[in-house]
Every structure is written in structure tokens, then in C-alpha cells.
Amino acid sequence: MSYLFESFKGWKKYCEENGANLYDSVIEYEIVQKGKSEKDIWEGLQKAYTVMKDAVETGLREDMTSRSGMINNGAKKVYNHPVSVLSPEFQRLISRALAAKEVNSCMGRVVAAPTAGASGILPGTLYTLQEIHHLSDRKILEGLLVGAGIALIIEEKASLAGAVGGCQAETGSAAAMAAGAMVYCLDGTIEQVFNAVAITIQCMLGLICDPVAGLVEIPCVVRNASAAAIANSSAQIALADVSAVIPVDECIEAMGEIGSSMESKYKETAMGGLAMTLTGQTIAKRVLIRDIEILPDETLPE
């Protein structure tokens, strides 16, 4: 038997009734539902975390210029800038989230967590958390499992795809996974972990997916940095037991409701928002293939 990740309420109840902690129940799910061995799961997580850390380091070391030219070594500039707006730790957090996401935009290797478009958020937050609090890899991997459980429920109740739910579904979900994982790693209670998820979702609700020229670059890269910052602010709030008031399951339902009523031009189609600005359209004209044969409209039998 395993818990099927249908709601946060159900997940908490399952853990309490079975004396399981959050990450145990995710391992149990993967073993029972997917036929994996516990050893394979830990190895898979270690591999994923290694790729995440590599992406952060690659983005801060190697040339990160995208084919369109819109992404041009931003992470390094932030990392090396002499003025720290808040603290050196905050500066590193932002530059790391940017770095891993720039690697994705520039055809490097990343972990889609939960998607490629949001692949800078968990690396940026967890790398920085581990550094500040001297956490073991094992603890971070447990946090990743908690994040996976969070994503399984969001997928069930709303969506993780920009084409279905807008940017809130991608960077919003990744930030929620990160906030929950961070609170877990800092020994938060189940209540606090879920509260961090609820607060993060509240901060990310309504975000549309409006990529310039349809590329996973602008505004995706900077949104990975802002999502990482929001995950940290939510974790800070949740650890202090400040309630989200609206329960986490209802926050996720609100995200699903907003996603389903969002116009399709705001769902990865590059037909609205930043993609339709004057500059956005000029860039699109330059980037898109123009040598294209257009078939005549068919007369559909109606």
C-alpha cells in the first residue's frame, strides 16, 4: 500500500496514521507504483542533484550565449557584481538560479524539475541552502523527494505545464517544491512545509506564459531567479508559523481554476504579453524561420 498523492490533506493524514515522514511516503509510492528499488531511487536522486549542481557551476563558468543572443552571460555578471543589494548569499542565490536556467537555454544538461522552463529554481535554492546551513547531500535528497511529492499533487489537482496552466504552473510549481523542500531540510513540521507551499502558490498565482519568439529565454530566465527568491521568502514566513490562511489544497485548486480560465494567448503560444510587444515581435521576426512553404487552407466538411 502507498499514498497516491491526491491532496496535501490526504498526504498529512497518511503520514500521521502510518507513522511515516514526508519523504518515506514518496519512496514507498515510487516502489509500489513504479516498481523501483529503494537503492535505484536514492541513486537516481543523487544523479539528479549532481546534474543540478553541475548546471549551476557550468552556468557560472562557461560562455552562456543563446542562439538568439537574448541570453548573454547574465548569471556571471550578477555573481561578480561588486554591490550586494541584500547580502552576498542573496546575490549567490539569484546568480545560481539564473546560471542553471541559462544552461538550459543554451543547450546544456539540466534536470527538468518539474519542467525544463523551470530548471533553475531547485538548483539555485538547494545549492545555496546546502552551503549556508552545511547540510548533507542526504538531507537535500530527502528534500527533493518532498518536492516530488508536492509536484505529484499539483499535477493531479492543477497542472505543471505552461501550455495548460501558464507560467504559474511551471515556475510557480518549482518554487512551491523548493519552498517545501527548504522548510523540510530546516527541520520544519509537515504543517510548516505545506504552509510554505501554500504561501508560495499565493505569490505565484496568475503568472502567464508569454515567451518572446516562443523561446525558453525571455522572461523565463529572470523568472527562475524571482521564483527562487519567492521560495526563500515563503520558507522564512512558513518557518515562523505565519499561516497562509487559505489551506494549501485550496491554493492549488485556485491555481487550476486560474489556469483553465486563462486565455490561450497566455499559455506558451507567444501570442500575448511580452511576446506581442513591439520589441518582442521584432525579435520573433529575426529568429523565426522565414523560408517556409504554407499549405493552402483546406475546405473542411462542415
Partner 1 sequence: MGGKSSVFDMIGPIMIGPSSSHTAGVVRIARSAIRVLGGRPDHAEITFYNSFARTYEGHSSDRAIIGGLLDFKTDDPRIKQALDLAKEFGLTYNFKSIGNASVYHPNTIKLSLTKGEQKVEIIGESLGGGLINIAELDGFSANFSAQSHTLIIKAKDESGAIAFISSVIAQEKTNIATMSVSRKGKHDVACHVIEMDSGLNPITITYLKSLPWIKELIYIPEIDL
Please give the residue ranges that form the binding site for partner 1 (CB under 8 A): 4-5, 26, 29-30, 33-34, 36, 41, 44-45, 47-48, 51, 66-68, 103-117, 119, 122, 144-145, 147-148, 151-152, 155, 160-161, 163, 177, 213-217, 287-289, 291-298
Determine the Cα–Cα distance for residues 152 and 175; give it in Å rounded to an integer. 14
* Of residues 66 and 237, the one with the C-beta less far from partner 1: 66
Each as own residue / partner, the long-range contacts of residues 109-114 (CB below 8 Å, 24 or more positions apart, any chain) are 109/51, 109/54, 109/55, 110/51, 110/52, 110/55, 111/48, 111/51, 111/52, 111/55, 113/48, 113/52, 113/147, 113/174, 113/177, 114/151, 114/154, 114/155, 114/160, 114/170, 114/173, 114/174, 114/177
Determine the Cα–Cα distance for residues 28 and 299; give it in Å rounded to an integer. 54
* Of residues 246 and 287, the one with the C-beta less far from partner 1: 287
* Of residues 50 and 136, the one with the C-beta less far from partner 1: 50
* Of residues 47 and 81, the one with the C-beta less far from partner 1: 47
In the complex, least distance from residue 256 CB atom to partner 1, rounded to whole angstroms: 16
In the complex, least distance from residue 18 CB atom to partner 1, rounded to whole angstroms: 18
Contact at 8 Å (CB) between 249 and 198? no
In the complex, least distance from residue 83 CB atom to partner 1, rounded to whole angstroms: 30
In the complex, least distance from residue 123 CB atom to partner 1, rounded to whole angstroms: 11
Question: What is the maximal distance between C-alpha atoms in the chain?
Answer: 66
Determine the Cα–Cα distance for residues 24 and 148; give it in Å rounded to an integer. 12
In the complex, least distance from residue 188 CB atom to partner 1, rounded to whole angstroms: 20
Residues 6+ away with beta carbon under 8 Å from 252:
8, 153, 154, 157, 158, 201
In the complex, least distance from residue 112 CB atom to partner 1, rounded to whole angstroms: 6
Closest CA to 273 of 204, 206, 200, 176: 206
Residue tagged 550578477 (cell numbers): 78
Residues 6+ away with beta carbon under 8 Å from 272:
208, 210, 263, 265, 266
* Of residues 31 and 246, the one with the C-beta less far from partner 1: 31
* Of residues 115 and 128, the one with the C-beta less far from partner 1: 115
* Of residues 42 and 79, the one with the C-beta less far from partner 1: 42
In the complex, least distance from residue 296 CB atom to partner 1, rounded to whole angstroms: 8
